[in-house]
Structure 1
Amino acid sequence: MNNSILIIEDESSIRKFIKINLERNGFNVFEAGSGEEGINIARKEKLDIVVLDIMLPGIDGFQVCKILREEFPRLGIIMLTAKTQDIDKIMGLEYGTDDYMTKPFNPTELVLRVKSLGRRMESIGNIDVNSILSSAPFKVDIYSRKFYKDDKEIELTPTEYAIAKIFIENPGRAFKRDEILNQVWGYDFIGDSKIVDVNIRRLRAKIEDDPSEPIFIQTVWGIGYRWKDKS
């Protein structure tokens, strides 16, 4: 990961505030005051993470997220919202964000969340190039961070990939939502466990033949989720 971050935020004071705190922590930061400008920068620069406000002039943050996710599936996206309604957070997650924060927020917490998301996207380091996880009909190539079903690649977001990897590494184990939060997000998440449920729903939509009747990602009522290995 080359630590390149794009901030898409129309309020210049907030944008500068975020930029200063990220640069102090060694990040290379780009700025955009509108969704259109942000999309153009994303198409020109090699980015790792986007910090994206919902309320933007022109196209809003939801539409920006949708476009970025379609064009850059492995891009990390953290959404900012000034609203407290759950619907905004859930909508952001449905569009493909990896995390969200509600304004006003602690800049230290934002930096921690950026670093946490970055850890999911770090370079492969000393991973064995032949390191493959299998759970028929799925394969996870840890070296290239790619996910396959029937040898056909399925594009997953960084968060979806992290959840799928945990499941396939631990077939049959029932995971509580809090366990998934701690393992995937890497911190004691301050917020709603719906972030897990929405990501599970997105993952099911991509890998299950019938997401309404999931075979592989099973719900364990009152607890969380479990991966059923069909091998």
Structure 2
Amino acid sequence: MIRVLIAEDELPMLQGLKDNLEFEGYEVATATNGTDALKKLMTNRFHVALLDVMMPGLSGFDVCKQARAKGNKTPVIMLTAKAEEIDKVLGLELGADDYITKPFSLRELLARIRAILRRTGADATTEQNQTHQVGRLLVNFTAYTASIDGVETKLSYKEFEILHYLFTHKNETVDRDELLDEIWGTDYQPTSRTIDNFILKLRQKIEEDPNDPRIILTVHGIGYKMVL
């Protein structure tokens, strides 16, 4: 299993990253300060480490610098609110492999992690085995495959993304604007009717009776809720 270290002192962000990476099939260890992060990095094997730059004790820069000086070659992605070019250059010169500026989307972070895993040749096949039953649909969100009773079912990229987001937030109400921002981004805004049309298509694949949905429910005036 792919092992990831997350070093982040903001607890809500730390827990959110941990939950999402575990959902993707990764094994996750955490640290809330630089000293603990360096200790874990030097005493355990990780495929990638996410280091927040501003942490108590040692900064992410210091953790990376000291780990590299001791011969640790774990790939490092720096997480920081700083966007100045000099900070990016400093992180990379100290041995970081990549750099992502807060706020960032989960999809961007996952793409960067997977890019590093491909470059390092890490075995990520465990991710491909993560399948989930959503009504009639058996879906693999990493491989972008879906089937019903063993027969492949075609879903568009946007259908996968909407389904994934609802699944990640199952049993929670997700409003339409939230879905629009997360799936299409803030630069391009389709209408709420677009979301409704995608939900209709998903219900036809998931529900036993699309006209009487029991899994993707409409929360009138707000959005949708996936009940599993």
User: CA offset at residue 108 of structure 1?
Assistant: 1.2
State the alpha-carbon separation in 2 of the partners of residues 4 and 67 from structure 1. 21
1:1-231 paired onto structure 2 within 5 Å: 2-123=1-122
State the alpha-carbon separation in 1 of the partners of residues 71 and 26 from structure 2. 20
Q: Name the larger-Rg structure.
A: 2
* Deviations, residues 10-41 of structure 1 (Å, cap 9, x unaligned): 11111111111111111110000001001111
- Structure 1 segments unaligned to the other structure (5+ residues): 125-231
State the alpha-carbon separation in 1 of the partners of residues 12 and 66 from structure 2. 26
TM superposition score normalised by structure 2: 0.52
User: CA offset at residue 123 of structure 1?
Assistant: 4.8
Counterpart of 1:122, as a letter, is G
User: CA offset at residue 101 of structure 1?
Assistant: 0.3
* Deviations, residues 35-72 of structure 1 (Å, cap 9, x unaligned): 10011111222111100010011111111110122234
* Deviations, residues 75-111 of structure 1 (Å, cap 9, x unaligned): 1000011011111111100101010000000011101
State the alpha-carbon separation in 1 of the partners of residues 86 and 122 from structure 2. 34
Partner SS for 2:120: coil
Identity %: 40
* Deviations, residues 176-214 of structure 1 (Å, cap 9, x unaligned): xxxxxxxxxxxxxxxxxxxxxxxxxxxxxxxxxxxxxxx
Preserved contact between residue 82 and residue 102 of structure 1 (Cα < 8 Å): yes
Preserved contact between residue 5 and residue 29 of structure 2 (Cα < 8 Å): yes
Preserved contact between residue 42 and residue 72 of structure 2 (Cα < 8 Å): no
Paired residues, number: 124
State the alpha-carbon separation in 2 of the partners of residues 19 and 123 from structure 1. 20
Counterpart of 1:34, as a letter, is N
Change (3 A) 1:104 1:123: closer
Counterpart of 1:40, as a letter, is K
State the alpha-carbon separation in 2 of the partners of residues 107 and 53 from structure 1. 15
Change (3 A) 1:19 1:90: same
Partner SS for 1:120: helix
